[in-house]
Amino acid sequence: MAGALPLSKTQKLLHALYYMLLFIFAVFYLLPFWGAVTTSLKSSAEVFTTSPLSFPEKLTLEGYRAAFNHLKKPLLNSLIITAGGTFFSVLLGSICGYAFAQYRFKFDNVIFVLVVSAIFLPYQAILVPLFQTIRRLGLYDTVWGLILAHTAYGIPMMTLLFRSFYGDIPRCIVQQAMLDGYRPWAIYRRIILPSTKIATVTAVVFQFASIWNELLFSLVLTGYDAMPATVSLNQMMGTLAAEWNVQMAGSMWLALPILVLYIIMGKYLIRGYMAGSVAAT
Amino acid sequence: MPSVSIRNLTVAYNKGRTLALDNFNLDVEDGEFCVFLGPSGCGKTTALLCIAGLLVPTTGSIKIGDQVVISEDKKTFVAPQERNIAMVFQEYALYPSMTVRGNMSFALENKKYSKEEIERKVNSIASMLGIEQLLDRKPAQLSGGQRQRVALGRALVRDPSLFLLDEPLGNLDAKLREQVRFELKRIQRRLGVTTIYVTHDQTEAMTLADRIVLMRDGKVVQEGSPKDLYHKPINTFVAGFVGTPRINFLTCDVSVKEGRPYFAFGQSALPGSQALAVTLNGKSCVVGIRPSDFMLVDTTEPEAIKGKVEVVEPLGDEIVVHFTAEDQLLVGKFSAADEEKVNERIAVKVDPDKLHIFDAETGDRIDG
């Protein structure tokens, strides 16, 4: 590295040790993924004759084709549920966060604590009443049922996130917009949202990934019609016994959208994580 | 007709235990440049926020023009959006996502001006402030001084009925501050907009104001023209706050000789104005002497205060001399032409009519 101080021998040795340790950990964490990738590219026959970690002797997309046929509808369901759940939870959480960050009203702190404390409710604790509510609403086994559940469950976290993002916007900017004649809703649309695009991207990625990967709500709130891909993949284990290449290929299909999202949004995301440390002006 | 009338304005926090503003009353005349001056925490910004409608007072009423914007019973409250007030915040509060042009036209868009008219207004104010070349930049790409001008321009472009400025020069360096101060006053004169300006800097207040409202602990201590505050401060707080270098205070015992009061401190005594002889006889009081009211005299002169020179600060055409007399550190300001008279020791006199006499206990001014 240019400009860095020369290192002493002990320091060099320590550095080498650090990197070795990091490398070992990296291998350890990436091994299952590697196994999944190699297995997904093997034929059904080869899966049984070779080690899961070996490179495929003959590359084939057979597993991907089979997995896609199986997951076609669930993947579409997942996409609809995730898009809907992300859109509504981010939108509503952002509006709540705006109100809590920039306006003072009666019992605002009490209400905020109440809303945010829902983050600490474990999934399992609300599962039964949630199931009953969704069924009464006639939304069992519909994508809307899951969109509603994910929206409701996502709002507290999004509210907390957006309140801290919007709290970084100096109050005087909002006050200035008020004096310029704008109402709270217009200030939100024309000042707050455009000033915090990176925050919104961060929230979207966060919500998208957690809703896309979610299993328990989906398991309980859907039957066959609205089943998302996580549940469907889970079921493949029962129905497609030991067809490991197809199952691994299914996992790859499931991981693909998140991977693409991270690659596209990555550069914004890193800036988003640091957004709180820099003043908005 | 006064442009702003404030009656009994009180803002209380902590269930009335802390008063940010305590029964504040004020009339600002149409077109006047009024400065709220005071140390930090004196309530000047609180008063400004109440006028803007950004803070609802605990009690009190405010009238802007002939419109009551908040009534005593709080049944009338005009939202900040409806008050047609332009404000410049200390932090500038520029909209970070918009260009300079966007910032300046934002309020006009809301008022449904035509595109051409907005363009014309923005361009004319921008050229007045010398920021035309910045119109397509974002606030993050501007220097502090440029941001300050944009904030000012954004307020000016609106034709407000009232112009509020909260320490707008606070973040500028000394040179730029002086320049913008001058421009601000010139623009205000030209537009004739009633202006309320908040600052803790007495130089700003003295140079800009038609009228200064000096505040402390949420109360008005004294209001008047800069001259009034400088020449007739009503107590030691005002005398000490206004004027640079700071006024000299001497605690003295008064004795009357041949109908003339003498203010004794140490071995020295300052002769005072005869008019005060009866009121002051035998009392102890605080005498305030402006540094520029000291006159250099010959060291042999009787009744002169003799002192030892500590530090001389040359300011070009003037010199500021710090000297000790009777163990008290005093400051005098003299013409640079007199510099040769300032040696190791100096002697000074003060015109008896220029002494400011205050009660030693209450600090209030005593006039003859």
Task: Domain ranges for chain A, please list them.
Answer: 9-49, 62-277
**Contact between B103 and B142 (Cβ < 8 Å):** no
Q: Do A176 and B93 touch (CB under 8 A)?
A: yes
pLDDT score at B368: 57
Which of B54, B86, B106 lies nearest to residue A175, judging by beta carbons?
B54
Q: Do B110 and A175 touch (CB under 8 A)?
A: no
Q: What average pLDDT is seen over chain A?
A: 89
Greater model confidence, B279 or A152: A152
**Contact between A56 and A42 (Cβ < 8 Å):** yes
**Contact between B272 and B261 (Cβ < 8 Å):** yes
Indicate if the pLDDT at residue A279 is higher than 70.
no
**Contact between A276 and A168 (Cβ < 8 Å):** yes
**pLDDT tens per residue across span A13-35:** 999 999 999 999 999 999 999 99
pLDDT score at A125: 87
pLDDT band at residue A2 using 50, 70 and 90 as cut-offs = low
End-to-end CA distance of chain B: 35
Indicate if the pLDDT at residue A175 is higher than 60.
yes
- Chain B: give the shortest CA distance to residue A69, in Å: 46
Residue B142 DSSP symbol: S
* CATH fold for domain A62-277: MetI-like fold (1.10.3720)
The residues near B252 (Cβ < 8 Å, ≥ 6 apart) are B263, B264, B265, B270, B284, B285, B286, B287
Indicate if the pLDDT at residue A213 is higher than 60.
yes
Rounded to whole angstroms, the Cα distance separating B233 from A160 reads: 53
- Confirm or reject contact between A182 and chain B (CB < 8 A): yes
pLDDT score at A275: 44
Indicate if the pLDDT at residue A280 is higher than 50.
no
- CA nearest to B111 within chain A: A181
**pLDDT tens per residue across span B282-314:** 888 999 999 999 999 988 888 888 999 999 999
Rounded to whole angstroms, the Cα distance separating A37 from A31 reads: 10
Task: Among B97, B113, B158, pick the best mutation site for testing chain A contact (most A Cβ within 10 A).
Answer: B97
State the average pLDDT over residues A104-133: 91
pLDDT score at A9: 87
pLDDT band at residue A273 using 50, 70 and 90 as cut-offs = low
Rounded to whole angstroms, the Cα distance separating B27 from B46 reads: 17
- Confirm or reject contact between B115 and chain A (CB < 8 A): no
B82, HSE (Cβ side, Cα atoms, 13 Å): 8
Rounded to whole angstroms, the Cα distance separating A213 from A110 reads: 32
Candidate ranges A14-23, A44-53, A190-199, B341-350; pick with highest mean pLDDT: A14-23
pLDDT score at A262: 87
State the average pLDDT over residues A146-166: 94
- CA nearest to A195 within chain B: B97
Residue B42 DSSP symbol: S
Given the DSSP bridges, would you call strands B268-271 and B219-224 parallel, antiparallel or unpaired? unpaired
Structure tokens at B301: 């002169």
Share of chain A above pLDDT 70, in %: 92
Amino acid type, A225:
D
Q: Do A176 and B80 touch (CB under 8 A)?
A: no
- Confirm or reject contact between B286 and chain A (CB < 8 A): no
What structural domains does chain B harbor? Answer: 2-241 (3.40.50.300), 248-359 (2.40.50.140)
Structure tokens at A173: 């900017």
- Confirm or reject contact between A185 and chain B (CB < 8 A): no
- Confirm or reject contact between B91 and chain A (CB < 8 A): yes
Rounded to whole angstroms, the Cα distance separating B6 from B47 reads: 9
pLDDT band at residue A271 using 50, 70 and 90 as cut-offs = low
C-alpha pair distances (Å), B354 with each of A264, B271, B334: 76, 11, 16
Q: Do A181 and B111 touch (CB under 8 A)?
A: yes
Q: Do A175 and B94 touch (CB under 8 A)?
A: no
SS (H, E, C) chain A: CCCCCCCCHHHHHHHHHHHHHHHHHHHHHHHHHHHHHHHHCCCHHHHHHCCCCCCCCCCCCHHHHHHHHHHHHHHHHHHHHHHHHHHHHHHHHHHHHHHHHHCCCCCHHHHHHHHHHHHHCCHHHHHHHHHHHHHHCCCCCCHHHHHHHHHHHHHHHHHHHHHHHHHCCCHHHHHHHHHCCCCHHHHHHHHHHHHCHHHHHHHHHHHHHHHHCCCHHHHHHCCCCCCCHHHHHHHHHHHCCCCHHHHHHHHHHHHHHHHHHHHHHHHHHHHHHHHHHCCCC
Amino acid type, A275:
A
pLDDT score at A278: 37
Indicate if the pLDDT at residue A156 is higher than 80.
yes
Residues of A in contact with B110 (CB under 8 A): 180-182, 186
Please name which of A19, A63, A65, A12 lies closest in space to residue A42, comparing C-alpha atoms: A63
pLDDT band at residue A240 using 50, 70 and 90 as cut-offs = low
Q: Which residues of chain B have pLDDT under 70?
A: 1-2, 368
Indicate if the pLDDT at residue A239 is higher than 80.
no
Rounded to whole angstroms, the Cα distance separating B268 from B349 reads: 11
> Which residue's structure tokens are 């300052």?
B270
